[in-house]
Amino acid sequence: MKVILMENVKNLGDIGSVVNVANGYARNYLIPKNLAAEASTKNIKKLEHEKKIILERAKKVKSAAEKLASNVAGTTVIIEAQAGEEDKLFGSITSMDIAEALAKQGMEIDKRKIIIDEPIKRLGTYAVSVKLYPEVTASINVEVRSKQ
């Protein structure tokens, strides 16, 4: 089934692309979530008209993400956690902990956008990536201190 993508879909295509997908994938996932519309002649003509609007909206979202990335980049987040011998933590620092610490500093970032390369299980300073948009990422520093 041919569909027109209304949003960027990972591993499938960008906004405005006409792609061929399985019927079930289109009917059960893409169309109900408004990620795509069936590529009928009517919808293709409608797309031509709305393509500029969709691209402008995507540019606005990307520019907002870039602005947020410039504000977030280089930010240091301090998280206090209980530690035992040899500076090992009881548990680990998760993306949810980092999102809460950022929220306390006035930066609302979804925990799913925070990418931790390897588990944080010791005291110290770590570099963590924040993926705000497909091409926009920022790096923050997470400092884990012992809770006194």
**CATH number assigned to the domain comprising residue 81:** 3.10.430.100
Pick the last residue of a domain from 36, 64, 92.
64
Amino acid code (one letter) for 103: A
pLDDT tens digit sequence for 126-145: 999 999 888 889 999 999 99
**CATH number assigned to the domain comprising residue 55:** 3.40.5.10
pLDDT tens digit sequence for 71-104: 888 889 999 999 988 889 998 999 999 999 999 9
Q: Is the pLDDT of residue 50 over 80?
A: no
Cα 88 from chain centre: 30
Instruction: Assign 51 a pLDDT band (cuts: 50, 70, 90).
Output: confident
CB 138 within 8 A of CB 130: yes
Q: 113 is in which domain, residue-wise?
A: 73-146
Claim: this prediction has a pTM higher than 0.85: no
Q: How many domains in the chain?
A: 2
Average pLDDT, the chain: 89
Same domain for 54 and 13: yes
Same domain for 109 and 81: yes
